[in-house]
Amino acid sequence: MEDTDFSNYDIGRLQAELEQETELKEMLEVSVSELRATMVVLEKRLHSAEDEENEWRTRFETQLELNGQLEQQISLVREKLEDLRGSPDDRLSSIRAYDDMPEDSLKRLLEQLTEDKASLQNQLTDCSVRVVQEAKAYHKANEERRAFQAEISKVSTALAASRRQQQMAKPEEVADSRIKRGLPTQTLKRADPEPIRKPSRTATTSSQLPKLKH
């Protein structure tokens, strides 16, 4: 084997290349770790999407089952309605049903219908009588209310007129009326204004005397 000659290689350049390779390796490792994390997230999303798809599929199947049950119920109800109404081509089906009933059953049914009719007629009569009575009572109460309002209006008018007459009456007339009724008139005398007193002559004379000289 021939010995390799390393004299032509620069150690500094080799170290720089080694550092670059190391940095590149670290960057690749970071990228790989990020890709792995992204792959884990995508796998989780995939599983959740599958679970959600299964959930929606279950809901869809349940809804289909419920729709089928509802359609069956609707068809049963329609059949019952058709049985109750009878065939549209046969308008006399109810009468024919009575024709098929025995005579005793028809008599009992007729008696029951007659009793129901009489009961309804009695209720209708009672209601009519009550309506008439309530109407009479209402009209009577309304008339009494109007009469009371008229009396109140008359009394209020008379009271207002009496108050106005009292306010417009003169003091002499009030005093005469009090005297005629035997009532004291002191309150009226007290209400009269007091006369103005004139100054006495003594006070005037004393004020006009000359002052004495000391």
Q: What is the 3-state secondary structure (H, E, C) of 72-141?
A: HHHHHHHHHHHHHHCCCCCCCHHHHHHHHCCHHHHHHHHHHHHHHHHHHHHHHHHHHHHHHHHHHHHHHH
Q: How confident is the model at residue 209 (pLDDT cuts 50, 70, 90)?
A: very low
Report the percent of the chain where pLDDT is more than 90: 0
Q: Using only the alpha carbons of the chain, give its radius of gyration.
A: 61
Residue 1 has pLDDT above 70, yes or no: no
Task: Give the residue-averaged pLDDT of 71-78.
Answer: 77
Average pLDDT along the chain: 69
What is the rounded distance in angstroms from the CA atom of residue 86 to the CA atom of residue 83?
5
pLDDT for res 155: 78
| Range with lowest mean pLDDT among 131-145, 147-161, 200-214 | 200-214
What is the rounded distance in angstroms from the CA atom of residue 214 to the CA atom of residue 210?
13
Task: Give the residue-averaged pLDDT of 185-202.
Answer: 49
What is the rounded distance in angstroms from the CA atom of residue 138 to the CA atom of residue 134?
6
Residue 160 has pLDDT above 70, yes or no: yes
What is the rounded distance in angstroms from the CA atom of residue 34 to the CA atom of residue 28?
10
Residue 201 has pLDDT above 60, yes or no: no
Instruction: Label residue 100 exposed, middle or buried (CB < 10 Å: 0-12, 13-18, 19+).
Output: exposed
Q: How confident is the model at residue 203 (pLDDT cuts 50, 70, 90)?
A: very low
pLDDT for res 29: 80
| Range with lowest mean pLDDT among 77-81, 106-110, 170-174 | 170-174
